[in-house]
Amino acid sequence: MWNRIVAVLVFLFVLAYSQCQNYSVSNPPINAAKNVICNTDSAIGWGNVVSQLKILEDSNVGNFSIVQLGDSHMQGGYFAERLRELLNQKYGVSGYGWAFPHSYAKANGSENVKFSSITKWEGRKFNHLLSGESAQISGYHLVTSDSIVQLTLKLKSKTDSLYPFNELVIYHNKVHLIFADSCNAMAVEEKCFGNFFATRLIFSEMHDSVNLRFSAVDSIRTNFTLLGINLLSSQYGVVYHSIGVNGASFKAFNRMIDYSHIIRQLLPNLVIVSLGTNDSNCEKLDRFRFRKQVETLIDSIQAILPGVCILLTTAGDNLRAKQFANANLRVVRDEIIRIAVRKHCAYWDFYAVMGEMGSAKLWKERNIMYLDMIHLRKIGYVLQGELFSDAFTKAMNKTNSNGQD
C-alpha cells in the first residue's frame, strides 16, 4: 500500500518538475516509417471523418467531436494538450471539451483547467467504489452532502485565447438548480439520461472562468454527485474530449466504468481508444481473455454509436519492476491490431513507432522516459502527441489524394 502511495507521489513530483525543462526533442529515437494510421481503407466511418474535417479546414463550417478514452498516459494531460493544440490550429476550436476536478479526488489531471471550491468533496474512483456503485466516464466522481455546493473553474491563462466557452454542460446525479455567478447565463436546460442528469448553461458572451453554485430543489438532503463538465463554444471547429483514468484497462471500461450514457451525449465523430498498458502489467497474460475484453469494448462502442469511426492505439514499450522486459506488450499489441482489422477499426501502432521491445531503455537514456519505466516525461508525451498528429494528417492526405469520400 505504502509503496503505491510513494510511487504516485514521486510520479506527480516528476511530472511537475518536468514543466521546467526544455521540451524539444532533436533526432528522437523513433521508427518514423511506422508512424502511420493503418487500416483506414476498411475502417467504418473513416470516410466521414476525412470529409467532415476537410469541410472544416476549407470552409470553416461545422463541428467535429473526438473522444479519446485511455489510462494514466491520458489522464496526465500532456499528450492530450499537445494533440488538442495541433488539431485546433488546423481545424478550428469548438471548445475545450471534457473536464473534471481531479485534484478533489486526490488525483492528477490536466493543468489547463483549474478548479477551486469551498465545498467539502469526497472523491471516488472506479476501483475504490462502494458495492454496487460504478464510476461514470471519468472513472471518478465527486460526492458531497452539502446542501449548497460551489465550484469555480478557470482556464489557464495561456489557453484563454484558444478555448473560451459560452456553453457548459454539467453532468450530475439528481435535480439541482445551477447558477453561474456574474456570467449572465441566458438559458438553463436540464435533461435526465437514465442514471444521471445533464444541465446545459448558455452564456451571452465568451468566458474563461465561471463560478457555479448547485442548490437542491427538494427538502430531502441526499448526496450530490458531480460526474464531469463539458466546456463548449458556438464557434466552428474540433472539440477534443480527452478522458484518461489512472490504472484503467479494457476490463475496467467493460465492467467498472460506465461510459455508455455520457459518451452518447458527447456526439463523437471519432472515438480513439488508448489502453493496454495496465492489461499487460501481469506475470502471465491470458491472451484469450484479453482478446475478449478488447472485442467487448469495441462491440459496445459500435452498438452505442453505430457508424462511428474507432481508432485504436497500442501501448508504448515499458519495463516491469523498472528492469525486466515486458513481453506481454507484444501480445497486447498484436491482439489489438488483429481485432482492429477484424472489427473494421483504424489503428496507430505506437509500440512500433517507439521502437518495440527494449525501446523504453533508449527513451530513458534520452531523458524522455520517466524513471518508473512505464510513463513518459512531459517531453515524451508532447512528442507522442506530435507523432500521432503527423500520422493522422498523413492518413487524411492519403485518403484525400485517393479521391475517397
Q: Is the pLDDT of residue 220 over 60?
A: no
Which grid coordinates are listed for 219?
427538502
Question: Do 222 and 258 fall into the same domain?
Answer: no
Any domain includes 10? no
Say which residue the cell 476498411 belongs to.
42
Question: Do 248 and 389 fall into the same domain?
Answer: yes
The residue out of 234, 250, 272 marking a domain boundary is: 234
What mean pLDDT comes out for the span 208-219? 82
Question: Do 66 and 140 fall into the same domain?
Answer: no
Q: Is the pLDDT of residue 7 over 60?
A: no
Q: Over the stretch 171-185, which tens digit does the pLDDT of each residue have?
A: 998 777 788 876 767
Question: Do 56 and 163 fall into the same domain?
Answer: no
Q: Is the pLDDT of residue 3 over 80?
A: no
Total domains present in the chain: 2
Query: Range of 73's domain?
Result: 20-94+237-405
Q: Over the stretch 323-362, which tens digit does the pLDDT of each residue have?
A: 899 999 999 999 999 999 999 999 999 999 999 999 999 9
Indicate the DSSP class of residue 369. B
d(C-alpha 311, C-alpha 191), whole Å: 30
- pLDDT band at 28; cut points 50, 70, 90: confident
d(C-alpha 295, C-alpha 275), whole Å: 13
Q: Which helix (H) or strand (E) segment is 238 a member of?
A: strand 237-244
Q: Which helix (H) or strand (E) segment is 197 a member of?
A: strand 197-207
Question: Do 241 and 226 fall into the same domain?
Answer: no
Residue 260: exposed, middle, or buried by beta-carbon count in 10 A (0-12, 13-18, 19+)?
A: middle
Which grid coordinates are listed for 257?
466504468
- pLDDT band at 55; cut points 50, 70, 90: very high
Residue 38: which CATH number?
Answer: 3.40.50.1110
Q: Model's pTM, two decimal places? A: 0.91
Share the mean pLDDT of the chain: 89
Any domain includes 8? no
Predicted local confidence at residue 331, as pLDDT: 97
Say which residue the cell 468533496 belongs to.
121
- pLDDT band at 219; cut points 50, 70, 90: low
Question: Do 100 and 118 fall into the same domain?
Answer: yes
d(C-alpha 27, C-alpha 186), whole Å: 51
How, if at all, do strands 148-155 and 113-116 pair? antiparallel
Going from the C-alpha of 350 to that of each of 62, 83, 85, 370, the distances in angstroms are 30, 15, 20, 17
Indicate the DSSP class of residue 129. P
Question: Do 290 and 390 fall into the same domain?
Answer: yes
Other C-beta atoms closer than 10 Å to the C-beta of 226 total 28
How, if at all, do strands 63-70 and 237-244 pair? parallel
d(C-alpha 106, C-alpha 116), whole Å: 13
- pLDDT band at 74; cut points 50, 70, 90: very high
Question: Do 241 and 381 fall into the same domain?
Answer: yes
What mean pLDDT comes out for the span 23-36? 84
Predicted local confidence at residue 13, as pLDDT: 37
Predicted local confidence at residue 280, as pLDDT: 95
d(C-alpha 156, C-alpha 248), whole Å: 27
Any domain includes 127? yes
Predicted local confidence at residue 43, as pLDDT: 98
The residue out of 234, 254, 285 marking a domain boundary is: 234
Any domain includes 13? no
Amino acid at 188: V
What mean pLDDT comes out for the span 62-87? 96
Q: Is the pLDDT of residue 14 over 80?
A: no
d(C-alpha 348, C-alpha 16), whole Å: 28
Is residue 60 helix, strand or coil?
coil
What mean pLDDT comes out for the span 369-390? 96
Q: C-alpha 376: how far from its chain's center? A: 16
Q: Is the pLDDT of residue 22 over 60?
A: no
Any domain includes 9? no
Question: Do 30 and 57 fall into the same domain?
Answer: yes
Q: Over the stretch 222-258, which tens digit does the pLDDT of each residue have?
A: 788 999 999 999 999 999 999 999 999 999 999 989 8
Any domain includes 276? yes
Cβ atoms 171, 264 nearer than 8 A: no
Predicted local confidence at residue 352, as pLDDT: 98
Predicted local confidence at residue 180, as pLDDT: 82
Q: Over the stretch 76-112, which tens digit does the pLDDT of each residue have?
A: 999 999 999 999 999 999 999 999 999 999 999 998 9
Any domain includes 24? yes
Say which residue the cell 510520479 belongs to.
11
Which grid coordinates are listed for 286?
491470458
Predicted local confidence at residue 2, as pLDDT: 41
What's the alpha-carbon Rg for the chain, to the nearest Å?
21
Predicted local confidence at residue 181, as pLDDT: 77
Say which residue the cell 517507439 belongs to.
354
What mean pLDDT comes out for the span 55-81? 95
The residue out of 174, 200, 234 marking a domain boundary is: 234
d(C-alpha 140, C-alpha 228), whole Å: 9
Q: Is the pLDDT of residue 17 over 60?
A: no
Question: Do 63 and 152 fall into the same domain?
Answer: no
